[in-house]
Structures are given as structure tokens and as C-alpha cells.
Chains A and B, each alone.
Chain A
Amino acid sequence: MSLKPSFLAPFNEFVAKHYGKDTGKMLIHTGVVGWILSAAAQVMAIVVNDKIPKEQKMYLVPQELADAGVNILSFYAITQSAKSLASNLVKTGKLLPKSICGILESKGLSDKIGKMDFNVFEDAGLSATATKRLESFKSGVDVVATTVGSVLSCNIVTPLVRNEIAANRQKDLVARMHNADTNHSSYVKPGYANTKRPSMYDFTNNSGSLKI
């Protein structure tokens, strides 16, 4: 029976080529895309919201973009580093199942273990069964490393950095407003015009950036 590929064939092939064997890579790339889409959605929500004055939008949009930058950079840097380290450890033979280690020893390749130019998949002459076993081992190590990296970046580093930035921003905003009140200055920095002090109600009802 002859089957015709759908009109989505180029996209399907692209996904199969890049992520068909590597779940760790897929988790990192979709994680980054997720953060970008979250931020884009958040910025769009501000841009199309008629209740927010134009001056405030000029302040809120860059603020949201800065938050997105922190999220994306910390996610990518930490998660990609964790995955690269795990992949390199397996590739160079520093982290292996005992059965593969035995093969390397029997072939006299023990002294090459840990060298960046040594690739256990290509240089050890493994059998098809051993290669398959090592591939599934590497896939597991990659997923564990990616998950640990994303937990570290999303749940520890990003909230700490974001809290620090948000606290400084809030302090700066309150100080500027206090200055404007006491000096009765006619000049108000663009973006601070029509801005009232942040209340608890605003804080509770602002949805902030939601990770998708």
C-alpha cells in the first residue's frame, strides 16, 4: 500500500532528525521555547491591555523582557552545561556501565579514558549490542542531568535572581515616588507618570510570568 507523506513532512523530518534519539536535547530546546512563548504572551498581554496607560507600558514591557532574559539565560546556561558535562563524561569514558568499562580494558584503551579527543562510541569498536546498551545508558544520564539542571535553574537560581531584581526595582520605584512627593517636582520620569504606589491588591492580582 503506497502512502503519501502529509504536507507537514518537512517539519516531521526536522523533528525526527534533531530529537528522534535525544530526549535531553529536546527537553532543553522546548524548555527555552516555552520560556520565550511565556514571555511573548506576557508582553502581548501588556501591549493589548487598554487599562494600562501608554507611559506605564513603556516601563512594563522592557521590565518583562528583562525578566524573560534572566529566565531564558539562566535556564539555557545551567541546563545546557549540565547536559554537556554528562554527555562528555559518557563520551570520554569517565562515566560508564561496568560491562563497557571491561571492553575498554580488554582493548587496552584505559589510558585514553577522560581525554576530550576520545569518543567511546567511535573509537572503542563496540559491537552493535554494546553500542545500543551504551546509547540507552547515555540517554538516561542525559535526561537525569537535564532534569537536575532545569530544577536547579528554574527552582533555585532564577527565583533568587528574580527576587533580588524585583526587590531592587520596587525600592527604586518607591524612592523615586517619595522624592517626587517631597520635592513637589514637576518632572516625572517617563513610565512613572500616572503610576500609583504598588498596593497589596496589585501584587496579588498581577499574574506575573507563568512558566508553560
Chain B
Amino acid sequence: MAITGLNSIRTFTNAASQRVINACPTMTISSGKVNKTLSWIGKHISSPENRLILGVTALMSQPFIDLHNRKVDEDTRKVSAARTVAKIIAGTSTGVAIRYACIKAIDAFTEFPEKITASTKHPCLKTFFTPFEAIKDGLKDLRHYKSALGTLVSLGVMVFTNFLIDAPLTKFLTNKFVDRIHEKDKEKPVQNKEVRNVA
């Protein structure tokens, strides 16, 4: 009964996927530059770069979504946007730095066994994260493995830094931005007055 159900889900998913694929045009990438760029992205872009892209695009979209949220009053909208900007800056900077540092750290302890010689200091430490079985089975490039392991370790680290760095930094930056907004709001009527006086 359960197997029949699973099979019908699979058939439905395949049919839906086929429809989506039929709707897409056939695309042939003839430009050598585009092909090279895609290969480069596949090799070099990993979680720190992904988090950076997420942060930059978040700065370009989320504050504007908050500023145009018509369901709350203007002051709340401004404070909400300020808090969003602070959250993005704090989260992105710590997220990128910690991911990058963890991947670097894993890199230092993941050496191919054939590169370890008698003169290598602390050989066990140098291969602490080396996946021996996977290498035996033919894994030749450890770049993706190191990124994955580094990212997983960084997630554990970030559970703590989320409270130790992100939250206080977000609060500090939000207060700074909100103070700026309130100062500007106070300046507005004064400026109008001056203009009126000059007129």
C-alpha cells in the first residue's frame, strides 16, 4: 500500500518535472567565456561567497520591502528597515568570516596521505579530517569536501556567535541607525522653518 503510494508520488513528480522541462527552451552555451565562468563558479564558489552574495542582495532588497510595508505606521517602517540593515550587516560579516576561517582551519588538517612524508610534523594531525575511504574510492579533489566540512563546523560555531557577536552588534547598529533617523526627523521642520524665514 505504502509502496503504491510512493510510486504514484514518483510518477506524479516525474510527470510534473517533464512538463516543466518541456516548457524550457533548449539552451546551448556556445560562448567559451560563459562555459569557463560556469566551471570556475562550480570549483571556487562555496558557502562564504554564497553567504556574501545573500548579504549583498539582502541589503538591496529587504530594507525596501520593510519601507514599503503599508500595514504598519511610518515610524515602525523606518525602525524595521534600520533593524533589517543592522541584522544583515552583523549576520553577513560574522557569517562570511566564520565560514571562511573554518574552511581554512579544515584545510590545514586535511592532507592527502601520499603527501605525508617521514619529515612531516604531526602526521596524524595533518590528516585528522582526511576521508581515507573516499580517497581510496577515487575522490581526487578535496576542495568541495573541505568546504562542506568547514561549513558544517562553522554552523556549530555560529550557534554561539549568534548570541555573542550577532545579537549585540545588531542591537548596537540598530540603535545607531534609529538615532540617526530620529535626528534627521527632528531636523526636517527646522529646515522648513529656515527656508520659510529666508523666503
Is A141 among interface residues, defined by CB-CB distance under 8 A? yes
CB-CB under 8 A for A1 and B41, given A94-B26, A210-B90 = no
Contact between B80 and A203 (Cβ–Cβ < 8 Å)? yes
CB-contacts of B133-168 with A (<8 A): 133-134, 139, 142, 144-145, 147-149, 151-152, 155, 158-159, 161-163, 166-167
Which residues of B57-110 are within 8 A (CB) of A?
A: 57-58, 61-62, 65-66, 69, 71-72, 75-76, 79-80, 83-84, 87, 90-91, 95
Contact with B along A75-103 (1 / 0, CB 8 A): 00000000011001100111111100100
Which residues of the partner chain B approach A46 to less than 8 Å between Cβ atoms?
Answer: none
> How many residues on chain B are close to A (CB under 8 Å)?
82
B residues near A136, Cβ cutoff 8 Å: 38-39, 42-43
- With A1-B116, A207-B171 in contact, is A26–B54 under 8 Å at CB? no
Smallest CB-CB separation from B15: which chain A residue?
A116
List, in ascending order, chain B residues with CB within 8 A of A168's CB: 71
Q: Which residue of A lies closest to B143 (CB)?
A: A23
B174 and A143 contact, CB distance less than 8 A:
no
Task: Say whether chain B's binding surface is mostly helix, strand, loop, or mixed.
Answer: helix
CB of A6 within 8 Å of the partner chain: yes
Answer whether residue B128 sits at the interface, using C-beta atoms and an 8 A cutoff.
yes
Which residue of A has the minimal Cβ distance to B111?
A3
> Is B57 within 8 A of A155, CB to CB?
yes
Could you pull out 29 A-B pairs where Cβ atoms are within 8 angstroms?
A: A1-B118, A3-B123, A5-B127, A9-B132, A12-B130, A20-B142, A21-B139, A23-B144, A26-B47, A38-B162, A41-B162, A45-B163, A85-B21, A88-B17, A94-B21, A94-B25, A133-B39, A137-B38, A137-B42, A159-B65, A160-B65, A170-B72, A200-B79, A204-B83, A204-B174, A208-B83, A210-B91, A210-B167, A212-B166
Interfacial residues, chain A to chain B (CB-CB below 8 A): 1, 3-6, 8-9, 12-13, 15-23, 26-27, 30, 33-34, 37-38, 40-41, 45, 84-85, 88-89, 92-98, 101, 113-116, 133, 136-144, 146-147, 150-151, 154-156, 159-160, 163-164, 167-168, 170-171, 200, 203-205, 207-208, 210-212
